[in-house]
Amino acid sequence: MTTILVSSQKIIDQSADGFGFLLPEKDMSSADLKACEKEFDISISDYLKKHDFTGKLMQTFAVPVMKKNKMYHIICVGLGSKKDTTIENYRRALAHLYRQAAAHKATTLAISMPAASLFDTSIEELGQQTATILDMTAYHFDAFFSKENRQKTELTKIVLCTSSATKTKLEKGVRAGNIIGKAVNKAREWVNTPPSDLTPPDLAKYAKAIAQKNKLKFTQFSEKEIIKKGMGGLAGVSRGSEQDCQLVVLEYKTNKKNADTIAFVGKGITFDSGGLSLKPAVHMETMKEDMSGAAAVIATMEAIAQLKPNVNVIGVTPLAENLPSGKATKPGDIVRFYNGKTAEIKNTDAEGRLVLADALAYVAKHYKPDAILDIATLTGACAYALGPFHTGLMSQHDDLVEIVEESAEHSGDHVWRLPLTDDYKAAIKSDVADICNIGSNKYMAGAVTAAHFLKHFVGDIPWVHLDIAGTAFNVPDRPYYRSGATGVGVRLMTDIAQHWK
């Protein structure tokens, strides 16, 4: 665990072995840097000059210094020129600074906080982003290593050094940022956990524990109840598995009078083998990630319970395993959903839309929320279309899209809109049921035709669908991630709730 503190004491008075600086291009005027130069009796600026460090974006330079026989590191990371100083580049530079400090074996890092105005943001907001990113960067999935040395936390303490005038605001942001960062990491931990160690009942149990600890209303339906309620999509996907499927609902209620209600619905396939339409081995390798949407929703509900935004929030997760067996749903079968609609199953690997259909129909009927957002590792097509850096967004409700896009920019969970036009509606026609669970080849656009399937279950409620197949797992080149789960969606959904009007 890395502890993040805020201090208005001088940076050189921190008992740290690493001193971190985020420097704008061609601006070495930092008073904290000058204090370090004096303390260690060394001209860092000369050093930087000699090594052509000008503060270009992500340019890095670490200087080892000695005092009374003890070694310290002064680490500088460039923030670039005015056009580079976006909040996303701040997140990356900060994470990079963390990695550099860890690489130089620092255990306590004192960071000289840059001015919030550099990034056109508030002190509180900068504090929130800073804590979230540092928590995310520190996260490491090490539960299954046997050797102790692979389990070590790198930096145990980080002190954010700021002026006494800004301390309170920064602290407030750090508190919120820590809540969000911990939630992101909780989602990552569940996704990274091997699929046999995290079954639908296991994840439901974790959701229940969160509800009890944070005073959220908790509802859970067993497979028997799911069948009885007529949720044939969720039950049908689970039929091949020995594990019971679950539907879990978490509810946060704000104290604000007449507040809106928003619903988050997350796909929770704890393992996706494809079912009888079995996946090839390479595609199956990472399919423990197929509950990333559910993990994000449950973790977000915990963050929301602690941040207490002015909006009611419902978190819904259909949880199941998709496995082949003598009992499994077969291609050619027809299932009936909670809202009475039927679907022909042509491919049992298109199971995400089937479990979401029942969850969406359930939340639409029982809560009539003002907005629904679903989040799902739904299609390989989306991952291929957009790659690992943008979550696919599909919707026909422009007002809601605007809200989600703004929160995406703001939170760092970036989205890219795909065209959910009516042109693609006909792709999921079926000869034998209301709709078919895969799109006709003629229409291609697999991410969009999947969204059209979901559209049959939300009625007239403003709805946004997020496809995180490309962004949930093994995202390269981002210094705040590592291999494995990203926790995508937690920052975005929390931001939507925090800023809901």
Stretch that binds Zn ion, among 249-257, 302-310, 346-354, 439-447 (CB under 5 A): 346-354
Contacts 24+ apart (CB under 8 A), 471-475: 471/388, 471/389, 471/390, 471/391, 471/413, 472/191, 472/289, 472/292, 472/293, 472/377, 473/191, 473/286, 473/289, 473/292, 473/377, 474/286, 474/388, 475/388, 475/389
Q: State which residue, 302 or 358, has the beta carbon closest to Zn ion.
A: 358
238 is in the binding site of which of Mg ion, ligand BES, Zn ion, none (Cβ under 5 to 8 A by kind)? Mg ion
Stretch that binds Mg ion, among 78-86, 109-117, 209-217, 233-241 (CB under 5 A): 233-241
Q: Per CB under 6 A, does 290 bind ligand BES?
A: yes
Which residues, 154 to 173, sit near Zn ion by CB under 5 A? none
> In angstroms, what CA-CA distances link 75 with 101, 122, 263, 284, 479?
7, 25, 44, 42, 16
Relative orientation angle of helices 398-411 and 490-498, to the nearest 10 degrees? 120
Q: Confirm or reject binding of residue 324 to ligand BES (CB under 6 A).
A: no
Torsion of CA 280, 285, 349, 269, to 10 degrees: 170
Integer angstrom CA distances of residue 461 from 259, 363, 500 = 16, 11, 16
Query: Is 379 near ligand BES (CB under 6 A)?
Result: yes
344 near ligand BES, rule: CB under 6 A: no
Stretch that binds ligand BES, among 45-53, 61-69, 379-387, 405-413 (CB under 6 A): 379-387
Contact flag: residue 348 with Mg ion (CB under 5 A): no
Among 253, 279, 417, 425, the active-site one is 279
Annotation marks residue 478 as catalytic:
no
In three-state secondary structure terms, 109 is strand
Question: Using CB under 6 A, which of the segments 20-28, 140-148, 334-342, 376-384 binds ligand BES?
Answer: 376-384
Size of the site for ligand BES (CB under 6 A): 16
404 is an interface residue for ligand BES by CB under 6 A = no
Piece of the chain touching Zn ion by CB under 5 A; list 59-67, 265-273, 355-363, 436-444:
265-273
Among 171, 289, 349, 495, binds Zn ion (CB under 5 A): 349
| Nearest distance, CB of residue 344 and ligand BES, angstroms | 13
Neighbours of 67 (CB within 10 A): 12
In this structure, what token pair is assigned to residue 216?
């959220």
Q: Taking the complex as a whole, how short is the minimal distance between the CB of residue 438 and ligand BES, in angstroms?
A: 4
**Whether residue 68 lies in the annotated active site:** no
Residues in a beta bridge with 160: 6, 111
> DSSP per residue over 426-437, as a string?
GGG--SSSSEES
CB of 239 to Mg ion, least distance (A): 6
Residue nearer to ligand BES on the CB measure, 184 or 382: 382
Q: Does 238 sit near Mg ion (CB under 5 A)?
A: yes
Helix (H, G, I), strand (E, B) or coil at 408: helix
The string of DSSP codes covering 324-349 is -STTS--TT-EEE-TTS-EEE-S-TT
Q: Of 14, 178, 241, 273, which lies in the binding site for Mg ion, with binding defined by CB under 5 A?
A: 241
State the minimum distance, in angstroms, from the CB of residue 377 to ligand BES: 4
Per residue in 464-500, is it b (16+ CB within 10 Å) or e — as a string? bbbbbbbbbbebeebbbbbebbbbbbbbbbbbbbbeb
Q: CB 471 → Zn ion: shortest distance, Å?
A: 17
Q: Which residues are marked as active site?
A: 279, 353
Residues that bind Zn ion (CB under 5 A): 272, 349, 351
Residues that bind Mg ion (CB under 5 A): 238, 241
